[in-house]
Amino acid sequence: MERKQFELGDVVQMKKQHPCGTNEMEIIRMGMDIRIKCVGCKHSVLIPRAKFEKNLKKVLRSAADQQQKEGEDGPTAN
């Protein structure tokens, strides 16, 4: 089975939704444990990496894509 690719700053979709009603989480810390922050209510939780990888459905918005987009749409000097 292929491992899912994710990195710091990504917004991911989890299999189960947060009690506030959204299932979108932002990765804010990575290591043996992963801290994710709910996009809806900004509550953060620290969960073991194995449990996170099991409950991860897909990456919605990658941090690398966001930075690349900001670079293209950068400020214009007038």
Domain boundaries, the chain: 10-61
CA 45 to chain centre: 12
Does residue 1 have a pLDDT over 60?
Answer: no
DSSP state of 67: H
Using DSSP's 3-state secondary structure scheme, residue 71 falls into: helix
Instruction: Please state whether the predicted TM-score (pTM) of the whole model is above 0.85.
Output: no
Condensed to tens digits (0 to 9), the pLDDT of residues 40-69 reads 999 999 999 999 999 999 999 887 776 666
User: Dihedral angle at the C-alpha atoms of 62, 57, 29, 17, nearest 10 degrees?
Assistant: 120
Q: Could you tell me the sign of the dihedral formed by the alpha carbons of 15, 18, 23, 26, in that order?
A: negative
CA 58 to chain centre: 9
Parallel, antiparallel, or unpaired: how do β-strands 44-48 and 56-61 relate? Answer: unpaired
Q: pLDDT-based confidence at 77, cuts 50/70/90?
A: low
